[in-house]
């Protein structure tokens, strides 16, 4: 079991992309609490980028290091984040998720009421986000 860790970065460009990474196992109350704090920082950063560009922000999520034993509260936290940021996010793409995580993503998508798309690699996900922004 690896402890959970989360990162957030802004990929610069004419249309900046918010890149998130969730890794490890979110399997206890402390890690779920850390995820909730991180989600608040993500929410704030998305709004900052939205306000500075006056455009909805594309979001890229790396799930390649997320372990299967993440608990249900993590799904709820992520779906709440997606619901709250609908007005500020153009598209969301994930990559690197295994089959069990993809199933959890389908639940997250349903709970959030917002579409996201999963890809095998970061390059494919980023290319899709960039093409969606150009359209």
- Render pLDDT for 36-94 as a digit per residue (tens, 0 to 9): 999 999 999 999 999 999 999 999 999 888 876 665 677 778 878 888 888 999 889 98
Residue 128's Cβ-side half-sphere holds a number of Cα atoms within 13 Å equal to: 19
* pLDDT for residue 57: 92
Phi and psi, residue 68, nearest 5°: -65, -25
Task: Domain ranges for the chain, please list them.
Answer: 5-134
Q: Please state, rounded to an integer, the average pLDDT across all residues of the chain.
A: 85
Give CA–CA dist 107/15, Å, rounded.
29
Poorest-confidence range of 5-19, 30-44, 108-122? Answer: 108-122
Q: pTM of the predicted model, to two decimals?
A: 0.87
- Render pLDDT for 76-85 as a digit per residue (tens, 0 to 9): 788 788 888 8
* pLDDT for residue 71: 59
Tell me the CATH number for domain 5-134.
Answer: 3.30.750.24
* pLDDT for residue 48: 95
């Amino acid at each position: 079991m690896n402890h959970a860790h989360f990162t957030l970065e802004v990929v610069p460009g004419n249309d900046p992309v918010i890149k998130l990474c969730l890794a490890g196992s979110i399997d206890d109350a402390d890690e779920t609490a850390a995820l909730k704090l991180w989600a608040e920082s993500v929410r704030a950063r998305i709004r900052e980028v939205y306000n500075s560009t006056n455009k909805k922000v594309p979001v890229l999520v790396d799930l390649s290091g997320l372990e299967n034993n993440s608990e249900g509260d993590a799904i709820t936290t992520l779906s709440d984040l997606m619901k709250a940021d609908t007005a500020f996010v153009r598209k969301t793409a994930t990559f690197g998720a295994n089959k069990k995580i993809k199933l959890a993503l389908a639940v997250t998508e349903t709970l959030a009421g917002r579409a996201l798309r999963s890809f095998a690699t970061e390059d494919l996900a980023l290319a899709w986000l960039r093409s969606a922004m150009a359209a």
